[in-house]
């Protein structure tokens, strides 16, 4: 892994660097920038050639639709064919913020942004650097998370540099992302709101804003993924990750059953000394593991979310053979954490404290 100092294109997000980044965006170059959720890899959304560079840089094997970031509701409305009253209500309530709305696109949105779909995903980020960049560039900015395809989302400029340092014109360093998990993605149709990706806007808040008349459907488990965030092996670290489940249970989660299902017979047993532990609030017998990261010592889910991707990257960088992850409570942002853990997991695990080993159950 290369050291941060080797990248000359990481700049603290001050006025001059933001101005320079805005020029680069207008010139069709790539700029990585912080948002309140994760770092984005941005390009002028109205310039197909600039957008193509995003896919090249991330080495996405195929084109997936991107989220377009804007600085105002007016700009969002230009990207859509129209917006129903419900969309306006949600924009007023949640923007700027981590809610992405998918609606029918207008003609100005290039096909490469939407991967040929007739809808486009849009949000106003709630991060001063992202907003300043958008205003200075005077362009909508298409930006997926600034990681190589298949790796977890970066929440620091250093994590961006490790993945994409030599593939972007500039990385704006705005410190650590305050939320740490990607936005909630929803699509609006006549009678229902479909959740395409569980994320940083808690489900309960969304339901509360929508009132009881509206049906909210979680479609993240659909068989034919409409959103790559639905893919089962998304968000995975390089090392195999196993979700620790309570004794007697082979599958984690209740509202988040292990996506795509079953786990096989016990496949292998390994000493805990070869394992890295991703703990929620505390860890028993920390010394048994090769490395331990605690997401939030006080058991705060917002703090855990903010630390999630960075902790995973740290454990991925250790010499451990595999990662064991504790479950987190399935409420508030815990739902989004569990969603990502379940997708990242290669299977489930149980610890035997007598033999200080982990029994691993591989996913089918
Ligand atoms: O928090 C975030 O959303 C971050 C920051 C940078 O804004 N961005 C992000 O982008 O996570 P990305 O590309 O990693 O994820 C975009 C998600 C994908 O799951 C994609 O499939 C979905 O949004 N999406 C985008 N356009 C869509 C569309 N037209 N229909 C359905 N899903 C769409
Ligand atoms: Mg992503």
Share of the chain above pLDDT 90, in %: 66
Smallest CA separation from ligand 1 atom 31, residue: 227
Residues whose CB falls within 8 Å of the CB of residue 141, separated by 6 or more in sequence, listed in order: 25, 40, 42, 43, 44, 45, 68, 69, 70, 133, 134
Q: What is the DSSP string of 122-152?
A: EE----HHHHHHHHHHTS-EE--BSS-TTSP
* Maximum average pLDDT range among 23-27, 81-85, 111-115, 310-314: 23-27
Position 342 scores a pLDDT of: 85
d(CA 295, CA 304): 4
Does residue 231 carry a pLDDT above 70? no
d(CA 256, CA 11): 39
Does residue 150 carry a pLDDT above 80? no
Instruction: State the closest ligand 1 atom to the C-alpha of 114, by its place in the atom list counted from 1.
Output: 29
Confidence band, pLDDT 50/70/90 cuts, at residue 254: very low
Ligand 2 is an ion; residues with CB less than 5 A from it: 145
Instruction: State the closest ligand 1 atom to the C-alpha of 121, by its place in the atom list counted from 1.
Output: 26
Unique residue bearing structure tokens 């990607």: 182
**pTM for the model:** 0.85
Confidence band, pLDDT 50/70/90 cuts, at residue 211: confident
Cα dihedral 134→138→139→145 (10° resolution): -10
Does residue 227 carry a pLDDT above 70? no
pLDDT (average), residues 256-274: 69
Position 357 scores a pLDDT of: 95
Question: With left for phi above 0 and alpha for psi between -120 and 50, is residue 153 left, alpha or beta?
Answer: beta
Nearest ligand to the CA of 228 is 1
Q: Are 139 and 21 in contact (CB under 8 A)?
A: no
Does residue 55 carry a pLDDT above 70? yes
Task: For residue 101, report the distance from its CA to the centre of ligand 1, in Å.
Answer: 10
Position 235 scores a pLDDT of: 60
* Maximum average pLDDT range among 81-85, 174-178, 312-316: 174-178
Higher pLDDT: 46 or 264? It is 46
Q: What is the pLDDT of residues 280-322, one digit of tens each?
A: 999 889 999 999 999 999 999 989 998 998 899 899 999 999 9
Task: For residue 144, report the distance from its CA to the centre of ligand 1, in Å.
Answer: 6
* Strand 67-69 with 141-142, pairing: antiparallel
Does residue 251 carry a pLDDT above 80? no
Task: For residue 66, report the distance from its CA to the centre of ligand 1, in Å.
Answer: 5
- The structure tokens listed for 322 are 């595999």
Task: For residue 41, report the distance from its CA to the centre of ligand 2, in Å.
Answer: 10
Nearest ligand to the CA of 230 is 1
Answer yes or no: is the C-beta of 226 below 6 A from any ligand 1 atom: yes
Burial class (CB in 10 A: 0-12, 13-18, 19+), 140: buried
Confidence band, pLDDT 50/70/90 cuts, at residue 219: confident
d(CA 173, CA 12): 5
Q: Is the dihedral of CA 81, 84, 86, 92 positive or negative?
A: positive
Residues whose CB falls within 8 Å of the CB of residue 112, separated by 6 or more in sequence, listed in order: 48, 51, 52, 55, 63
Q: How far apart are the first and last CA of the chain?
A: 32
Answer yes or no: is the C-beta of 296 below 6 A from any ligand 1 atom: no
The overall longest dimension of the chain from CA atoms, in Å, is 64
- The structure tokens listed for 257 are 């059953």
Task: For residue 160, report the distance from its CA to the centre of ligand 1, in Å.
Answer: 17
pLDDT (average), residues 192-215: 90
Answer yes or no: is the C-beta of 194 below 6 A from any ligand 1 atom: no
């Amino acid at each position: 892994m290369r050291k941060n100092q080797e990248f000359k294109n990481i700049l603290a997000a001050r006025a001059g660097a933001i101005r320079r980044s805005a020029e680069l965006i207008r010139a069709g170059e790539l700029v990585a920038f912080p948002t309140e959720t994760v770092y984005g890899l941005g390009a002028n959304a109205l310039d197909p050639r600039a957008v193509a560079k995003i896919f090249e840089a991330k080495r996405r094997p195929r084109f997936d639709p991107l989220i377009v970031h804007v600085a105002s509701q007016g700009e969002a409305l230009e990207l859509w064919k129209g917006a129903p009253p419900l969309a306006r209500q949600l924009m007023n309530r949640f923007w700027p913020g981590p809610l992405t709305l998918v609606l029918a696109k207008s003609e100005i949105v290039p096909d490469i942004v939407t991967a040929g779909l007739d809808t486009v995903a849009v949000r106003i980020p709630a991060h001063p650097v992202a907003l300043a960049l958008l205003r200075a560039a005077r362009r909508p900015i298409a930006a997926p998370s600034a990681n190589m395809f298949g790796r977890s989302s970066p929440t620091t400029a250093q994590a961006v540099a490790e993945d994409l340092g030599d593939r972007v014109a500039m990385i704006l360093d705005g410190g650590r992302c305050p939320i740490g998990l990607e936005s909630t993605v929803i699509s609006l149709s006549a009678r229902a709101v479909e959740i395409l990706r569980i994320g940083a806007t808690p489900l309960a808040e969304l339901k509360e804003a929508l009132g009881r008349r509206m049906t909210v459907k979680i479609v993240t488990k659909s068989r034919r993924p409409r959103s790559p965030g639905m893919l089962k092996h998304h968000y995975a670290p390089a090392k195999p990750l196993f979700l620790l489940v309570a004794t007697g249970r082979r599958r984690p989660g209740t509202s988040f059953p292990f996506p795509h299902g079953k786990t096989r017979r016990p496949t292998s047993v390994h000493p805990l000394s070869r394992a890295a532990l991703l703990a929620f609030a505390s860890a028993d017998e920390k010394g048994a593991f090769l490395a331990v990261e605690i997401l939030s010592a006080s058991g705060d889910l917002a703090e855990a979310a903010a630390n999630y991707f960075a902790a995973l990257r740290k454990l991925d960088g250790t010499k451990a053979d595999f990662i064991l992850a504790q479950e987190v409570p399935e409420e508030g942002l815990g739902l989004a954490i569990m969603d990502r853990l379940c997708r990242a997991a290669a299977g489930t695990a149980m610890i035997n404290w007598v033999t200080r080993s982990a029994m691993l159950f591989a996913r089918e």
